[in-house]
Amino acid sequence: MNDISSKPLEDLLDRIVAEYSERVAAGRGEQEGDLLAQVPTEQRGTLERCFKMIRGGTAGALPLTRALAPGDRLDGYRLVREIGRGGMSIVFEAVQEELERPVALKVLRPGLALEGRNVDRFQREALAIARLQHPHIVAIHGVGQAQGYHYLVMELVRGTTLEQVYRGLPAARSDWTAEELARAAGIPELARGVQSYEQALFRLLAPVVRAVGLAHDLGLIHRDIKPSNILIHSDGRAVVADFGLAKAEGDPALSLTGEPIGTPYYMSPEQAAIIEQPVGERSDVYSLGVTLYEGLTGRRPFEGRTFFEVLDAIRRRPALPPRRVRRGVSGGADAIVRKAMARVPDERYTTALELSSDMEALAAGRMTVAEAQSAGLTQRLAGLFNGLAHTLRLSSLGGEIVSERRLLGLPLIHIHVGPRVPGQPLRRARGWLAIGEIATGVVAIGPFAAGVVSLGAFALGGLALAGVALGGVTFGGVSVGILATGGMAAGIGVFGGMGAGSFGRAGLGLGPHVLSDGRLDGAARHFLGRWMPWSLWP
């Protein structure tokens, strides 16, 4: 799994911004051409904006022209090693020299510090974590500013990350055991009292999900949940880190490279839209679902060569269900992940606390709410196919069933199941068998249906049955077709309370060969008798 990284570019931008700040302080602010020439063309507009802010005095000077490195000292803290980085900050293991206490020092990138909103967002993490005070959320010790750098002092978690745990599982196999997960996490007791790998995984992560839910109760949205932000403490606790992205809904924070802050692989569809939709706590629920997906299958649901390819994949298509990726995934675990990762937010768990409750139930071997719900309409429909589901390789996610196999570009089956949530647009289904609010296919069923055979409130097709039906052979309250039957019918062959056409039966008939008593006149007999026996007609 190759991560998309912009580390060299971020470091270069930090250095250039700091160097230009020194030039302005020395009275050489007009000299910027050589600095702009060092970066790709698409980044020069961002740099010019930063330079203008520095010249105008709206941003403070940045005294260092190089990035912080191990061995440096910052306001009484000695940097030991870099342990993590993101689009907004770099995290170092450090020593608080006055107390000789090991800590994690999180430093805001100098270039981002030019804008007050980024500093506010960074400092908001300190306030957020201080309010939480939860054993499964990384503790914060302090916040400060020195030498032009803004920093947070946090609890140093000795151990590993969930990302490293995932990578520590045997790569040649996917039928992992609870014991293998316990060894990768360094927590021997994790495998005790459970029968499967997924039970151990859900036992490990359920407390983290519950902690995120409690943060939501305080109005805090994490926005960047991913395996590298879940730390495994040496005492066996999994803890969530990096609430630095917690911010008001609709704020699409950007890094210096111009990309949205946050990791694309774990973004929800509404978060991947960047600015089109509000992002709330159910976005975190989705990201937690992706984290579980990766743990169950050994792969992320969406990949891409670039940041925006990943976003486009998330926006445009559903993920394959975990059971389709790895056969060993149970129905209960599969249902939990599919519910958490539903494309429509209202179809997900209402809260992270609900998700954690289902995870705890699975870890204890009990039936989950998600599994009970998925055993309803979806499985009843699958049962009607009497084994056809396996033959067609059906996949379902978020109230939708789609066969992977296609014929002439259309899936064999495309069905929307379950009620449509308030405010959700009409759901479209296209397939050889299509069932949805708007259905198009060979057999189409829905309020608005068009197909060779179509059934619905309004139907268009070769054989149409509906309240309003248009087609070759039609049956409906209002029916128009070659052979039309209905309360009001029009066509060549008409049967209905009111009829209009070449011939037919009707209580009230309009046309040259239609009689209200149901008998054909002489002209009709002469016309039809050329190819049909007289005995067939009254």
Q: Which of 14, 224, 242, 284 is catalytic?
A: 224
Name the nearest CA neighbour of 212 among 243, 249, 175, 186.
243
What does the alpha-carbon distance between residue 130 and residue 120 come to, in Å, rounded to a whole number? Answer: 15
The neighbouring-strand residues paired with 81 are 93
What does the alpha-carbon distance between residue 279 and residue 262 come to, in Å, rounded to a whole number? Answer: 13
390: left (phi over 0), alpha (psi -120 to 50) or beta: alpha
- Asked if 319 and 173 touch (Cβ cutoff 8 Å), the reply is no
- Asked if 493 and 501 touch (Cβ cutoff 8 Å), the reply is yes
The amino acid sitting at 256 is L
**3-class state of residue 25 by DSSP:** helix
User: For the packed helices 197-217 and 281-297, what is the interaxial angle rounded to 10 degrees?
Assistant: 170
Residues in CB range of 247: below 8 A, 6 or more apart: 121, 124, 221, 223, 253
**Cα diameter, the chain:** 114
What does the alpha-carbon distance between residue 370 and residue 334 come to, in Å, rounded to a whole number? Answer: 9
The neighbouring-strand residues paired with 154 are 104, 140
The angle formed by the CA atoms of residues 349, 1 and 261, to the nearest 5 degrees, is 60
Active site includes 224?
yes
Residues noted as catalytic: 224
